[in-house]
Amino acid sequence: MKLQEICAKRIYKTPCPKCGSWDIIPQTPIDVDIDVNDAKKALGQWAKAIKDGATPLKGPCFIMCRDCGFKAPSVDCSGRTSEEVGQDDAVFLEMKRLWIKAGE
């Protein structure tokens, strides 16, 4: 068993309800204009956006399976920044609750 899978089992408690994978991750999409055709430039744009702080979100937060793309119901974080959401345990706990509920 991989370390990533062990950690995921401890954190999320349930695998992806669609494919059974443990390759799951929380998503907090940020509002930044990224050039997807140039990986180096895209990484620089992303790094600059988060370095400046107060990065606005580009939609709701959710937990997603990286293998099949399944997304749990999302948590509305309208008007908040990624930094605020990242420091708010209640947001992650709600995302986790919705992930577990999706697997029931």
Per-residue pLDDT 10s for the chain (104 aa) are 576 667 667 777 788 999 988 888 888 887 777 777 878 888 888 788 777 777 888 889 999 999 999 999 999 988 888 888 888 889 888 998 999 888 87
Q: Cβ distance 66 to 14 under 8 Å?
A: no
Q: How many residues does the chain have?
A: 104
How is residue 98 written in tokens? 């919705």
| Nearest Cα residue to 17 out of 104, 84, 90 | 104
Tell me how many domains the chain contains. 1
pTM above 0.85, yes or no: no
Token pair listed for 78: 């309208």
What is the domain range of residue 90?
A: 3-102
